[in-house]
């Protein structure tokens, strides 16, 4: 009864927002996808900013000490001032868009005029980004990818939620109340130790907790749909990945493919 009650609460929360999720196993091509459309990245774009920094430098060994510290703070603590420094360092929106072209992320557009958190993306592109970081042998693998992956494994405990509920141990989350509506954007992306990549994008939540609950439930279901253990119960604190296309949070069952 208790488990059914939790699932009912999560399902009701999900109906109030919009959500896209996918899980991909790069070594087999198995994937589960639900929902689609464009979403703002919120603080998950800090992964993009560090990736762009590594591209410009040509690898972690060519970063300055200050750049390394800014990157670490942006990922591990989700420090906004450090993210703003990185945004300027990589050339602002134009520089970030150039990185997206180099990384093969055609559905992502940088936020302009310093508003890096309003970068727009799709779940499909979030998984593509994760491939550049976590998948050995990817043709567009990021220089310094292992270092960035390591930072994503060091995220402070208070920010370990979202895809961690589906077993991800390297992750970055984003959360943002929209000024115009007061509704929350809640995003989460990461990698499990077995190589499975999971990303969830969502918006329209009345509060952070509702978004986190729906994101965690969606991540668990996506991983379960491709046959993986669904992970832990998550933190239940505040706050998927990716499918290229689709509808909203109530769009129905997962599609599963192997390619």
- 97-111 tens-digit pLDDT: 999 999 999 999 999
pLDDT digits (tens, 9 = 90+) for 160-213: 999 999 999 999 999 999 999 999 999 999 999 999 999 999 999 999 999 999
pTM for the full model?
Answer: 0.86
Tokens 């979030």 found at: 126
Mean pLDDT of the chain: 87
Domains and CATH numbers, the chain: 14-258 (3.40.710.10)
Q: How crowded is residue 248: how many other Cβ atoms within 10 Å of its Cβ? A: 17
Least confident of 83-92, 110-119, 237-246: 237-246
Residue 228: predicted pLDDT = 72
Six-digit token string for 224: 């379960």
Closest CA to 24 of 15, 36, 16, 33: 33
**Secondary structure E strands in the chain:** 18-25, 30-34, 39-40, 120-121, 170-177, 184-191, 197-203, 255-258
137 φψ region: left (φ > 0), alpha (ψ -120 to 50), beta (else)? left
pLDDT in tens, 53-69: 999 999 999 999 999 99
pLDDT in tens, 143-154: 999 999 999 999
| Comparison of pLDDT for 88 and 248, the residue scoring more | 88
pLDDT-derived band at 221 (thresholds 50, 70, 90) equals very high
């Amino acid at each position: 009864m208790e488990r059914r009650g939790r699932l009912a609460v999560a399902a009701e929360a999900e109906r109030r927002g919009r959500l896209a999720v996918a899980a991909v196993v790069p070594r087999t091509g198995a994937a589960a996808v639900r929902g689609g459309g464009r979403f703002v990245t919120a603080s998950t774009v800090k992964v993009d900013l560090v990736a762009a920094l590594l591209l410009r430098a040509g690898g972690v060994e060519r970063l300055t000490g200050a750049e390394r510290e800014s990157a670490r703070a942006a990922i591990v603590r989700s420090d906004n001032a450090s993210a703003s420094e990185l945004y300027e360092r990589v050339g602002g929106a134009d520089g970030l868009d150039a990185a997206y072209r180099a990384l093969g992320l055609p559905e992502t557009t940088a936020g302009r005029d310093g508003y890096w958190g309003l970068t727009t993306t799709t779940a499909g592109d979030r998984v593509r980004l994760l491939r550049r970081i976590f998948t050995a042998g990817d043709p567009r693998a990021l220089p310094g990818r292992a270092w960035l992956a390591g930072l994503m494994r060091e995220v402070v405990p208070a920010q370990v939620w979202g895809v961690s509920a589906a077993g991800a141990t390297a992750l970055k989350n984003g959360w943002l109340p929209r000024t115009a509506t007061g509704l929350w954007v809640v995003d989460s992306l990461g990698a499990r130790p077995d190589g499975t990549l999971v990303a969830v994008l969502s918006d329209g939540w009345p509060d952070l907790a509702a978004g986190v609950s729906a994101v965690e439930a969606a991540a668990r279901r996506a991983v379960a749909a491709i046959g993986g253990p669904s992970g832990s119960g998550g933190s239940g604190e505040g706050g998927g990945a990716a499918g290229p296309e689709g509808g909203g949070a109530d769009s129905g069952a997962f599609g599963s493919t192997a390619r």
